[in-house]
Amino acid sequence: MHPGPADIREFRDAGHVRPPWLIDLIQSEINGGKCDRSQFSAIDRNTEATTLRISGLGQRDLEHLVTTYGGRFTAIEFWKCPRLEDLTPLEDLPDLRMVSFFWNQRATHLWNLARTPHLRALRLDNFLRLHRLDDLPAGQALDHVCLDDSIWPKSTFETLEPLADLTGLRSLTLKPKRIDDNRIQPLGALTALEELNISTNLFTTEQFAWLRSRLPATVGSRALNPLRHLKEPWDPAGKSGDVLLVGKRKPCLNSETDAARIRRHVQKFHRMVAAFQEDRSLEPS
């Protein structure tokens, strides 16, 4: 059998490349369509595939898929399966390495991730009713987690505290609308991170400065710098802005006319980082 995708990027690109290890059952309907089990004959025909992309699954379809074919797949993308409510059937797939969901309207919990001990990558995109991340710490093999809102910015999480237990994470994407307890501190425990893709307005500038002081300097992240230079200028109210200050409610400014203000922001950011590094008992307000 084919080994399947080497990493999450290859997994996500598979729908365009159509490698031999992939079975693609994504339907053309904009809402993902509705699963017709006759589609599963494609699984019977390709006995070498180890990766599945599928849309329109209902609850009974998921249970049938897992019972009949599940043991064959190490990576599954559930694309527009908004009616799935109970994800515990995935506990019967111990060889799963990667799981991706795009658009779910019903599930409020994940599954016991300890039952999928080889799970390395988990992507939850527009997972609208999941507000607690308590299930994640059981996924101790996870090195890639993506909690995204790429279409509808509606997701909210009570706290990021469960993420602090995923100390092996190398890549984290975090783009919800809001974190209810407004604490960034749990992310400071993720010292194995190589990449942090987080909304630059999710927390204050002070909070991002604190996180910068706690994570390795090698972590790649736009949010751990005082500003972003925009490739395409933004033009709010007739003012062309090409520099976005990092932090909640921070503006987009013009690098020429607002140079002094930008410089003060950068200097303040670096002073805060230095203060947090000098006194590690300090926390952002």
Note if the pTM is more than 0.85.
yes
How high is the pLDDT of residue 97? 97
Name residues of the chain where pLDDT drops below 50. none
CA distance 247 to 3: 42
Q: Which helix (H) or strand (E) holds 16?
A: helix 8-17
Instruction: Provide the pLDDT for residue 237.
Output: 64
Nearest to 113 by CA among 103, 124, 104: 124
Rounded CA-CA distance 221/216 in Å is 11
List phi, psi (to 5°) of 28: -80, -20
3-state secondary structure of 165: helix
Res 238: pLDDT: 65
Alpha-carbon distance 24 to 65, whole Å? Answer: 14
| Domains present along the chain, CATH in parentheses | 8-199 (3.80.10.10), 225-285 (no CATH)
What's the confidence (pLDDT) of residue 110? 99
